[in-house]
Structure 1
Amino acid sequence: MWWGAMTIEVTHEPIDVERRRPERRRRPWDRKYRTVLLVADGLVAVVAALLIHGAYGRWAVALVLPPTWIVIMLVHRSYDRGALGLGTEEYRRVLRGAVALPALAAVAHLLFTRDAALLHDMTMAALPVVAMGLAVRCALRRRLHRRWARGQGRSSTLLVGPARDVLELVAVVRRGGAQELQVTGVCLTDPENATLIRQAGLPVLGGVGDMNDVVGALGIGTVVVFPAPELDASALRRMSWTAAAQGVDFLLAPVLFDVCAARLAVRPAGGVPLVRVQAPNLSRAARLPKELLDRSFAAVLLLLLALPMLLVALVVRLDSTGPALFRQPRVGRYGDHFTMLKFRTMRPDSEALRAELAPLNQNSDGLLFKVKKDPRITRVGSVLRRSSLDELPQLLNVVRGHMSLVGPRPPLPEEVEEYSPDIKRRLLVKPGLTGLWQVSGRSDLPWDEAVRLDLGYVDNWSTSLDLSILLRTGSAVVRGTGAY
């Protein structure tokens, strides 16, 4: 069999299934990451114990806390292969451990020790140990992702399935930044579409029947299979056996790519494992904490930034004629209209000149209107846009309840009139000062990608997602990608 200039010889040796066990092809970074994390957790517990000892002068917690914390992390599966390097899931398991630590201390106090001082110290130790544990995981995860970005420690991956699904997953993975999976090649169920795969820069290594040979010849560590009419239950079962025999991870890609893992759960029915997709939780009760946090945090920011915002307004007025603030009708949650505020970055006659600049629109594939080096932008306006300082007056919109700190981009009324029913799902949540669209490339993104990100935010909203977007906003502003 020939793939390019490479010849692969396939031998068919009998396998003694009772005596021969497959040697799992570990992820290159797996064992070292797990070891470093285990040692770091031990050191974190020691430091936390010493802090408590320094505060209360008792040595018992220094002896008990380190092994207890390691056991709790093992029980909560913090070192499981499936959670390492994932960020949110790692952090969630550490937080569960922080809750378990005082609970376990209370049980030990009631049943065994009757030592109130030890119970107090173990309870007080929960805060520093979880804070340092989360910081360690964040640092290790960033270091791991930097290595992946350099092409180090990634898992050689074979994709098996239809060309269209392969291309969609590859596009999503590439947009997601540094990833563990490094696509080595593709085995197609529809080889007639091989040209599309090659145009995407991926080698086509054969069909479904060639998977076993490709895995053995190229040292594949992970196989990702896409559902297809050609792959029935029997075929998928045999493919999983083949992967298991060679010690390879076997992953079945979901039909829905934009559903976060937290919304997926396996529900057995008559011995059949069905995947449950949980509906997005957009109720008032679920969003009340976000509402309170948005308004209170925006109010604090307005107080802190009042003087700088006055200075920006003064500079805008001195730079060009017209008001300091730009007011524009936008559409909020459930289609309600509101007046959005920004520092003015364009000439007063900018709307009249828009028709003349239509041929220069960078987003001609959708409803957005963006022009690089827009001649309507003032000198100060270009600086404000690159630094995103023009968005600061929207803190007033957040305080008034029209907007949120994190959410989809606030659309214009004429844009909403062109929305399809699917796109109108963006209006189920408040628009935001920042969002997935803003931290993923802003105006450089095509319209369909901006829509995909906004719909993904609506469907997968959570407090942790909001926090991650807020943390990414700073670096996005510094880079200035897509800000024009």
Structure 2
Amino acid sequence: MTIEVTHEQLVVDRESPQTRRRRWEQRYRIVLLVGDALAAAAAAFLIHAAYGRWAVSLVLPPTWIVAMVAHRSYDRGALGLGTEEYRRVLRGTLALPALAALAYWLGTRDAGLLHDMIMAAVPAAAIALPVRYTLRRRLHRRWARGRDRSPTLLVGPSHDVAELVAVLRRGGVQDLQIAGVCLSDPQNASSVRQLGLPVLGGPADMTDVLRAVRISTVVVLPAPGLDTSVLRRMSWTAAAHGVDFLLAPVLTDVSASRLAVRPTNGVPLLRIQAPDLSRTSRLPKELLDRTLAAALLTLLALPMLLIALVVRLDSSGPALFRQQRAGRYGDHFTMLKFRTMRADSEALRAELAHLNQNSDGLLFKVKEDPRITRVGSLLRRSSLDELPQLINVVRGDMSLVGPRPPLPEEVEEYTPDIKRRLLVKPGLTGLWQVSGRSDLPWDEAVRLDLGYVDNWSMGLDLTILLRTGSAVVRGTGAY
């Protein structure tokens, strides 16, 4: 397998429209620069209003832009990515006082300006981050409408291509728009066509595809025939056409924060950091969980009492449903919920086994379950039946965010891989809830839970908590 790259081809491709930088990137960078400048100007105005000095209004905007450029917040790899983009802005914010101190030490000797620049860092970040969030949401809306997306060619084996496409499609809005596939195993082309993707040939046809189809990005997946020399030539071809060349890792569901390139004797090795689930690293989560749960219980005490009264009046039985669940490391605890079913619901479960919507896994879910009471149906759709689990969070049995709390009999059927979800406390909400809840197949629910365990961070928890409100309003999979 050879891929020819000639001088004539290089010259022609440099003059083609495909080598021009995508217009949305240029526009987005300009808007970001303007937004950052305005944020810095607004922060400078606040400092001037507080201390009555104008010098900061002249120095802060260009210094802020320099800090953002130095920390690569305008790089193509961070545009529209959210968490990584915000992290770079925060790093630039921390650098701002250092730049001010350096300027003071090099000769300005203006203590007032040094003070004002240090004080301006917090309001500048507080204004810049919401501005970037607003711009990112606007960009994502354009992507959702099919605009400003990057036409992408996938190269690799059919099975891995199908898996990557599934991950991209279920991962929400993103800029890659799959335009075609070059398969290393063309005999399995039918499985890829079933996904609605055109098969444009094999890896050896990549040059012809780039000439015929307007492609901005090439993503190559590992395949037996794609050795080092072939990949190198493919990267040369992509560069000659002005196309981004990306290598997909063998592992999926690994957050970018856990990945780092580690050069060793000229070989770029990809380091995957092990998940940090130690007690020390999770102490802030424990404090946040119990404090926030206690505050919510205080605020919601009266509404919860009213719900309990309605449940008792609607049907016979207790207001609270108690059930043994498996927590961290498989330890059992009593989970609390508002009762949404008849008192004899467990006795009727066997009669409804043939209606199980999750027959592909260990979960038992039935749409339009006849055991659910009138009030119970409303509580489930609104997720209000979960509120008593705040008591479990305060007790330390559960977290606000984590995997779904399983039944002990489900845990007995877990494979060693699935048991990894027991390394953290179960949650009142989690990736499974904000991604579809009971509508998810069992394998997808497991993938989300394992991804949460491996990629856990306080930032991920906060993101899930922010997404939970919209998921509850949509009611997707709540039955």
Maintained 8 Å contact 1:28/1:155: no
Maintained 8 Å contact 2:10/2:240: no
Q: Structure 1 residue 128: deviation in Å?
A: 1.1
Q: SS in structure 1 opposite 2:78?
A: coil
CA, structure 1 residues 172+309, in 2 after alignment: closer, same or farther (shift >3 Å)? Answer: same
Aligned to 2:163: 168
**Counterparts of 2:175 and 2:311 in 1: how far apart (Å)?**
46
Q: Structure 1 residue 25: deviation in Å?
A: 4.3
Maintained 8 Å contact 1:259/1:456: yes
Q: Which amino acid aligns with 1:32?
A: R
1:344 aligns with 2:313: no
**Counterparts of 1:79 and 1:12 in 2: how far apart (Å)?**
32
Q: Deviations over 1:261-285 (max 9, x none)?
A: 1111111111111111111111111
Q: Structure 1 residue 21: deviation in Å?
A: 4.7
Q: Structure 1 residue 18: deviation in Å?
A: 8.6
1:203 aligns with 2:174: no
Aligned to 1:154: 149
Aligned to 2:187: 192
Q: Which amino acid aligns with 1:365?
A: D
**Counterparts of 2:11 and 2:364 in 1: how far apart (Å)?**
65
1:287 aligns with 2:282: yes
**Counterparts of 1:283 and 1:300 in 2: how far apart (Å)?**
26
Q: Structure 1 residue 113: deviation in Å?
A: 2.6
Q: SS in structure 1 opposite 2:128?
A: helix
1:15 aligns with 2:11: no
Q: Structure 1 residue 12: deviation in Å?
A: 9.9
1:438 aligns with 2:433: yes
**Counterparts of 1:103 and 1:391 in 2: how far apart (Å)?**
47
**Counterparts of 2:5 and 2:22 in 1: how far apart (Å)?**
27
CA, structure 1 residues 115+202, in 2 after alignment: closer, same or farther (shift >3 Å)? Answer: same
Pick from 29, 33, 55 the counterpart of residue 34 of structure 1: 29
1:364 aligns with 2:359: yes
Maintained 8 Å contact 1:441/1:482: yes
Aligned to 2:64: 69
Q: Identity percentage over the alignment? A: 78
Aligned to 1:324: 319
Q: Structure 1 residue 137: deviation in Å?
A: 1.1
Q: SS in structure 2 opposite 1:29?
A: helix
Maintained 8 Å contact 2:400/2:428: yes
**Counterparts of 2:435 and 2:50 in 1: how far apart (Å)?**
45
**Counterparts of 1:274 and 1:359 in 2: how far apart (Å)?**
50
Q: Structure 1 residue 114: deviation in Å?
A: 2.7
1:246 aligns with 2:241: yes
CA, structure 1 residues 14+328, in 2 after alignment: closer, same or farther (shift >3 Å)? Answer: same
Q: Which amino acid aligns with 1:460?
A: N
Aligned counterparts, 1:50-449, within 5 A: 50-449=45-444
Q: SS in structure 2 opposite 1:408?
A: coil
Q: Structure 1 residue 183: deviation in Å?
A: 0.5
Q: Structure 1 residue 115: deviation in Å?
A: 2.5
Maintained 8 Å contact 2:222/2:250: yes
Q: Structure 1 residue 13: deviation in Å?
A: 7.8
Q: SS in structure 2 opposite 1:82?
A: helix
Could you tell me which runs of 5 or more consecutive residues in structure 2 were left unpaired when the two chains were aligned: none
Q: SS in structure 2 opposite 1:294?
A: helix
CA, structure 1 residues 220+16, in 2 after alignment: closer, same or farther (shift >3 Å)? Answer: closer
Q: SS in structure 2 opposite 1:262?
A: helix
Q: Deviations over 1:341-360 (max 9, x none)?
A: 11111110110111111111
**Counterparts of 1:472 and 1:366 in 2: how far apart (Å)?**
26
**Counterparts of 1:147 and 1:17 in 2: how far apart (Å)?**
33
Matched positions, count = 474
Q: Which amino acid aligns with 2:270?
A: V
1:451 aligns with 2:446: yes
Q: SS in structure 2 opposite 1:421?
A: coil
Q: Deviations over 1:92-126 (max 9, x none)?
A: 01111111112222233334233222222212211
CA, structure 1 residues 311+156, in 2 after alignment: closer, same or farther (shift >3 Å)? Answer: same
**Counterparts of 2:443 and 2:450 in 1: how far apart (Å)?**
10
**Counterparts of 2:36 and 2:473 in 1: how far apart (Å)?**
33
Q: Deviations over 1:355-411 (max 9, x none)?
A: 111111110000001111111111111111111111111111111111111110000
Which aligned runs of 4 or more in structure 1 are off by greater than 6 angstroms? none
Could you tell me which runs of 5 or more consecutive residues in structure 1 were left unpaired when the two chains were aligned: 1-10
CA, structure 1 residues 157+18, in 2 after alignment: closer, same or farther (shift >3 Å)? Answer: closer
**Counterparts of 1:187 and 1:361 in 2: how far apart (Å)?**
40
1:481 aligns with 2:450: no
Q: SS in structure 1 opposite 2:177?
A: strand
Q: SS in structure 2 opposite 1:341?
A: strand
Aligned to 1:5: none
Q: TM-score, normalised by structure 2?
A: 0.96
Q: TM-score, normalised by structure 1?
A: 0.95
Maintained 8 Å contact 1:30/1:81: yes
